[in-house]
Structure 1
Amino acid sequence: MVVASVSSGLLMFDAVIIIILIIWLGSAGLNRWRRKKYATMLDQEAFQKGSHRAQVLDVRSKEDFDKGHILGARSMPLAYMKQQMGDLRADLPIYLYDQGMTLSTQAAVWLAKQGYKQLYILDGGYSKWTGKTKKSKY
């Protein structure tokens, strides 16, 4: 009786793990598809080279931006993008980054739906950035 109970408990645990893995893989696949559909991925070299002619947006929180950000970037947290959208120029490319690429992907999807066409995401995000950075004084 105890063995059957332990065995069914392990099967339940295995099933939960499998379900979690399926959801995680599905989410990762969906994000990859969304990035390809709405934006162009740029490696660090291309991002750095083109950033001088683009609007570089850090879509992380203001606190994360203040701890360190790519030189020349401006803080536009995803949560406040709708309110600050009037500050963006549709005729200039928009370079997006966050810690990884999740928030940048969401920002690119939203901006594309607002009519912006030239959207680029830093491959790997700020966590893999090796170029020049700046910290806020506050």
Structure 2
Amino acid sequence: MNSITIEELKAKLDNGEEVNLLDVREPDEHEEFNIGGRLVPLGEIRMMALDDIEDWQNEEIVVYCRSGNRSGQASLILEQAGYSPVNLTGGMLAWQEKYAQ
């Protein structure tokens, strides 16, 4: 499974690169803090309800959650379904610790 650090992702975003962000947390977590990702909770990914990201089938997807655990699980599922996921190491906890004001 491929991974990306918060620093690498932040650099991509700061450079204006188009990044497919997939948030696999729960809606309340997403509402509390997010970096603009498309919300598809891990439970939906486990059920292979991937209609919301079908347009990303042939593109890299940065998958994130609170700490990196759920996004790791989601990345494995997506990989098996033919997607190209990249797990965000440390998740939103690491992001907020370093970048949130």
TM range (shorter): 0.7 to 0.9
1:50-69 alignment runs, 5 A limit? 50=12, 52-69=17-34
**Unpaired runs of at least 5, structure 1:** 1-38, 134-138
**Unpaired runs of at least 5, structure 2:** none
Identity %: 25
Rg larger in structure: 1
The CA RMSD over aligned residues, in Å, is 1.9
More helix by share: 1
Q: What is the identity, as a one-letter code, of the residue corresponding to 1:113? A: Q
The whole-number CA distance in structure 1 between the counterparts of 2:5 and 2:61 is 15
Q: Deviations over 1:98-128 (max 9, x none)?
A: 1111101110110011011x21111111101
Aligned residues: 92
- Scaled by the length of structure 2, the TM-score of the pair is 0.79
Equivalent residue for 1:46?
Answer: 8
The whole-number CA distance in structure 2 between the counterparts of 1:121 and 1:132 is 20
Query: Are 2:64 and 1:74 equivalent residues in the alignment?
Result: no
Q: What is the identity, as a one-letter code, of the residue corresponding to 1:46? A: E
Q: Is the 8 A contact 1:53 1:93 kept in 2?
A: no
The whole-number CA distance in structure 2 between the counterparts of 1:54 and 1:76 is 16
The 4+ residue runs of structure 1 with deviation greater than 3 A are 49-52, 130-133
Deviation, 1:55, is 1.5
1:1-138 alignment runs, 5 A limit? 39-50=1-12, 52-70=17-35, 72-81=36-45, 82-83=48-49, 85-88=50-53, 89-116=56-83, 118-129=84-95, 130-131=98-99
